Structure 1
């Protein structure tokens, strides 16, 4: 933003700087914003304004900039997303003016948004799904067939805000494209606003990457520890992965064993819980291992509320 000194120097005409300053003083005193300010602080008179001419000029200029805000990225004020706020105090007959920088609503909103994003990590899930912003009304009316499921998710969010994290998560089951991942991304966003951290993992890609991480023990341990410790963990499209015994028993089993009485875990799947147990009971390497499938399900079934997500397939639709 152009300073008062630069502005006075750039004025046309042969008048001296002091004459230009007097002219600017007269202009500012008549400005409705300063008239209102002087009404609020009766101790402020023309001489006070003269002594604080640069402060007053900046106050008025930045107020006008904010009134016709071009957006945070194009903010013309000295400090992006901040404006000058004036105040005054009279002690023993002497009036002093003070200025301070205040964050605007857009800047505060961006800070909140950045803080929310910093609490959420995704593995192989499209970040666009996490960036979308919807209200509860939006998700309720987007597909009325899934209204019951939406209600369960909204009640879970409200309950967690009120009473804190519990042990129980949600298991969203339904056909392809009914919005299960979308609902979990919404839950992550809303609870991140309340200060909770979250991780969402697309299981088919995650399992494939684990085969590479087997050869990087440090990275594998870091990944597993993060999934153990995050407040909210979502396994997206569980049951669609190409399962092997090592992933089931030593990775997924370790994560769930740690979390099951500490923090909630969430799932989306095209399978119901019984069908998921069958999926976990068979691997291409070892064939049927019913007891191992049951052992994993003992760490899932008691710790979830089942949510059936009905509705039409929305993939490919605008």
Structure 2
């Protein structure tokens, strides 16, 4: 059993320590301001009952200090707290610190763009960084205007951008996706030849249906390099035309890039090895593209060779 003298000595130390913390708390500018706001509500016993809460409150840093990975050095858990008085006790009210809030907003914005088999430079493209010359000016102004109208809900038609290989069609699509992201509009950007391979491979594990539905229902769908895939009756009729038809009926914004003008797609999609010539089915696909997109031609030098 502990000697009484030791118990009394320890009790005295605890009392003295509590008194020291009490003085530190009540004389701190943050606590002084809180007591001034709640004048007449706070008693000495209330402060003594919640000393540790109040100690934590006054020691909490006011300013956030962001780290390189987007977290807050001052508030590692991402939260700051304020005090409130509830039934005669001090309570902590937590809220996200500004750094965490900003980081979560960044993650939310980043998640607005889904992409499949799209190069990083295209995913990160913006109208501020794009190479501008007279060949591109009109199309870029058109693209910016389209993105703005879609964001305001004034129009659903996108652009069908065609032109020679390597002149920057995909990059403009990336700019459109990021412009929409800044306006809190989500988009799905897919490289057509690879996504068709993914859908075909997905029959084995059952993932094709979910991916197909995600593409079909994307808030804004961006199809990159249409016509570069191996044309089959399945890819033309069951995938591409089916997706375009749904989006036409639902009036969902769609952007497309291709090396072919829309009229040239007729020959490209009219013939398959398995079914031979089927011009009507090719025309059905083309009609849906025209309903969904305004056709624009991009000209210029091959930027991949410069």
Instruction: Report the TM-score when normalising by structure 1.
Output: 0.73
Counterpart of 1:225 in structure 2 is: 213
Counterpart of 1:159 in structure 2 is: 149
Could you tell me whether the CA contact under 8 Å between 1:256 and 1:300 is conserved in 2? yes
* Larger Rg computed on CA atoms: 2
Counterpart of 2:78 in structure 1 is: 81
2: CA distance, partners of 1:142 / 1:211: 35
Runs of 5+ in structure 2 lacking a partner?
1-11
Task: Confirm or deny that 1:293 pairs with 2:293.
Answer: no
2: CA distance, partners of 1:24 / 1:232: 58
Could you tell me whether the CA contact under 8 Å between 2:79 and 2:97 is conserved in 1? yes
Task: Confirm or deny that 1:236 pairs with 2:227.
Answer: no
After the TM superposition, which residues 266-281 of structure 1 pair with which residues of structure 2 at under 5 Å, given as runs?
A: 266-281=255-270
Runs of 5+ in structure 1 lacking a partner?
1-14
- The superposition leaves residues 208-266 of structure 1 with CA deviations (integer Å, 9 ceiling, x where unpaired) of 344434x5494433333332222222211112222223211222122222221212222
One of 34, 37, 50 as aligned partner of 1:37: 34
Instruction: Report the TM-score when normalising by structure 2.
Output: 0.75
- The superposition leaves residues 181-204 of structure 1 with CA deviations (integer Å, 9 ceiling, x where unpaired) of 344344445545666553222112
Cα RMSD, aligned residues only = 3.6
Question: Alpha-carbon deviation of 1:125?
Answer: 2.2
Question: Alpha-carbon deviation of 1:267?
Answer: 0.7
2: CA distance, partners of 1:183 / 1:45: 62
- The superposition leaves residues 247-306 of structure 1 with CA deviations (integer Å, 9 ceiling, x where unpaired) of 112221222222212122221223332333433234466666544332211110122123
Stretch deviating more after TM superposition (202-211 or 177-186): 177-186
Stretch deviating more after TM superposition (230-239 or 112-121): 112-121
Counterpart of 2:187 in structure 1 is: 198
1: CA distance, partners of 2:273 / 2:143: 35
SS of 2:288's partner is coil
Question: Alpha-carbon deviation of 1:107?
Answer: 2.1
One of 230, 234, 243 as aligned partner of 1:246: 234
One of 98, 103, 109 as aligned partner of 2:96: 103
After the TM superposition, which residues 180-191 of structure 1 pair with which residues of structure 2 at under 5 Å, given as runs?
A: 180-191=169-180
Question: Alpha-carbon deviation of 1:29?
Answer: 3.6
Counterpart of 1:212 in structure 2 is: 201
Question: Alpha-carbon deviation of 1:102?
Answer: 0.6
- Compared with structure 1, are the counterparts of its residues 41 and 180 closer, same or farther at alpha carbon in structure 2 (3 Å cutoff)? farther
Task: Confirm or deny that 1:122 pairs with 2:115.
Answer: yes
2: CA distance, partners of 1:41 / 1:230: 52
- Compared with structure 1, are the counterparts of its residues 257 and 273 closer, same or farther at alpha carbon in structure 2 (3 Å cutoff)? same
One of 44, 52, 55 as aligned partner of 1:54: 52
Could you tell me whether the CA contact under 8 Å between 2:158 and 2:293 is conserved in 1? yes
Counterpart of 1:63 in structure 2 is: 61
2: CA distance, partners of 1:229 / 1:313: 34
